Structure 1
Amino acid sequence: MHVHNFTKTPTKPVEVIDRSISELTDAMQYTGFQGRKLAESVKVWENMLKDDGTTIFMGLSGAMVPAGMRNVVKYLIENHMIDCLVSTGANIFHDCHEALGLKHYVGSHLANDEELFGHGIDRIYDVFAYEGEFRDTDHFIANFAKQHNGKSYSSREFIRLLGKEISEKGNTDSIIASAYLNNIPVFIPALCDSSIGIGLTIARRNGININIDQIKDVDEITRMVEASAKTGVIYVGGGVPKNFIQQTEVVASIMGHDVAGHEYAIQFTADSPHWGGLSGCTFDEAVSWGKIAKEAKKVQVFVDATIALPIVIHALHEKTNAHKRNIPCFEWTEGGIDLHF
């Protein structure tokens, strides 16, 4: 039998035996399709964590908090497996909602939506929540805004203040409270497109005005990239958080910095590339823009993120529990940003 470069490594059927999750994902590296891609994402993330000097950015889209992924993201923050979170406003709103003691509920996608509306219940596929309680959280944000009337903040600065408020109320079981306590920046580049934006609109109608400076967001996160020797990215879904992180390489290049693109890249997405949308577009396509390095260690897993995240993070928990990472710490100054480890 002739052995070519194409046929060096045989596939290996997965055996059903007693083993850990990380041992299972190791075995899945020799299977095919998205099972292998899931295993490869664990390996790329593990290597990223062990590569000192790498700043790791995470983009979070989709209704991940209502779907039960809140503590997974919180674990990543508390264990410094990411260094910056870029999220939709909705995920952070739902995080605040639960931090205030309010709930999402196990529902059904087969429910009668007219009947739900009559009971004041909102549906997120098969998750339920009370509209009245959402409005209570809207008003919490509007009341919080009173403390900052007339101020202008980047979304990072505003969310840090909101995380501080929530942590001081005694509920640190929260993404943004954990981010505040662990000095992890959280950006929401489309903050107005969420119930946080609704809360701030309520405040504005009542004479309280806070300006969220989204161009300052672009400048701040780009300075993080410019200060970093290497960068890695992890995308849950796509959308605005993905592009907001991707474009930092372009902005840094325009500003005269010698950047080659993100050097590690992982994405968990249910979108397809052939529709031309950013959420499904490949990292190979991103190389043409200079957003991803030509030699980047990259893997995209076409999967529901609510399946991928618990498996991948449990595997990483087992693999990296003893590894102490040199954590990049960013401090914003009047002149820009300082990075130290």
Structure 2
Amino acid sequence: PLIEEKMQAFLEEEYQNGVKEMTTAEICKMIGKHLGEDSFLYWAYKNDISVVVPGIMDGAVGSQIWLFTQKHNDFKLNMAGDADLLSGYIFKAEKSGAFMIGGGISKHHTLWWNQYREGLDYAFYITTAQEFDGSLSGALVREAISWGKVTQKAKQSTLHAEVTTILPFIYAALVSKLQN
């Protein structure tokens, strides 16, 4: 109910302002604009950082977008606009890196786009998935190197850990290093 209530109101506000088409990056900024300081999307919005969600339709937010289009059939989700945004970043980048938490579509999307610039220069994976089942989530960096999605000379590592237990330690170490 909360996501439905909020998303419908956010989308309706944009629609009433003449917005008939949005990318997932624009939707994330719209959501971030309305959230508090304890939200990742709020800080992305505040710092004009684009957040692209390639699998947005697979979940509560996507369901709300679909429901909104049932009332406003001229409203469109523009996934090609996200591709334009990503290609702009990729083709202009001197270096490219990714900190990938988990796997699935987000990991694949990041790796896929970076193959167009001869691969990531930096790659750090945190995953609980194992390589033996053949899933992308469990694939190690060497698999991405074999496809040209990570460069041969990339600084890279895979950490097999449960992210909610390890991420606070990584964050604390980064903050400590930045302060020194």
Regarding TM over 0.5, the answer is: yes
The Cα of 1:139 is off from its aligned counterpart by: 2.0
CA distance in 1 between partners of 2:168 and 2:2 (Å): 30
Letter in 2 for 1:233: A
- Give 2:65's match in structure 1, choosing from 192, 200, 214: 200
| Map of 1:105 onto structure 2 | none
- Give 1:147's match in structure 2, choosing from 1, 4, 13: 13
| Map of 2:176 onto structure 1 | 318
2:31 maps to 1:162: yes
| Map of 1:103 onto structure 2 | none
2:45 maps to 1:176: no
CA distance in 2 between partners of 1:287 and 1:208 (Å): 43
| Map of 2:98 onto structure 1 | 233
Cα 1:321–1:212, aligned 2, differ >3 Å: closer, same or farther?
farther
Q: Which runs of 5+ in 2 are unaligned?
A: none
Q: How many residue pairs were aligned? A: 177
CA distance in 1 between partners of 2:177 and 2:53 (Å): 31
The Cα of 1:147 is off from its aligned counterpart by: 2.2
Letter in 2 for 1:267: Y
CA distance in 1 between partners of 2:84 and 2:132 (Å): 32
Letter in 1 for 2:27: F
Q: Deviations over 1:12-44 (max 9, x none)?
A: xxxxxxxxxxxxxxxxxxxxxxxxxxxxxxxxx
Query: Contact 2:101–2:126 (CA<8 Å) still a contact in 1?
Result: yes
- 3-state SS of paired residue (1:201): helix
| Map of 1:255 onto structure 2 | none
Q: Deviations over 1:174-224 (max 9, x none)?
A: 111111111111111111111111222232233365322112212211210
2:144 maps to 1:286: yes
CA distance in 1 between partners of 2:22 and 2:68 (Å): 15
Letter in 2 for 1:316: L
CA distance in 1 between partners of 2:159 and 2:45 (Å): 30
- 3-state SS of paired residue (2:110): helix
- 3-state SS of paired residue (1:297): strand
Q: Deviations over 1:28-85 (max 9, x none)?
A: xxxxxxxxxxxxxxxxxxxxxxxxxxxxxxxxxxxxxxxxxxxxxxxxxxxxxxxxxx
Cα 1:159–1:181, aligned 2, differ >3 Å: closer, same or farther?
same
The Cα of 1:299 is off from its aligned counterpart by: 0.5
Q: Which runs of 5+ in 1 are unaligned?
A: 1-134, 253-258, 323-341
Higher relative contact order (CA 8 A, sep 6+): 1
- Point out the structure with max Rg over C-alpha: 1
Query: Contact 1:270–1:304 (CA<8 Å) still a contact in 2?
Result: yes
Query: Contact 1:246–1:291 (CA<8 Å) still a contact in 2?
Result: yes
Q: Deviations over 1:288-327 (max 9, x none)?
A: 11100001111001111111101111111101125xxxxx
CA distance in 2 between partners of 1:136 and 1:303 (Å): 32
- 3-state SS of paired residue (1:264): strand
TM-score norm. by structure 1 comes to 0.49
Letter in 2 for 1:138: E
- 3-state SS of paired residue (2:49): coil
- Over aligned residue pairs, what C-alpha RMSD do you find? 1.6
Letter in 1 for 2:108: N
CA distance in 2 between partners of 1:305 and 1:191 (Å): 21
Query: Contact 1:260–1:290 (CA<8 Å) still a contact in 2?
Result: yes
Return structure 1 stretches of 4+ with deviation > 6 angstroms.
Answer: none
Query: Contact 2:69–2:76 (CA<8 Å) still a contact in 1?
Result: no
The Cα of 1:260 is off from its aligned counterpart by: 2.7
CA distance in 2 between partners of 1:199 and 1:180 (Å): 20
Query: Contact 2:4–2:64 (CA<8 Å) still a contact in 1?
Result: yes
Query: Contact 1:148–1:210 (CA<8 Å) still a contact in 2?
Result: no
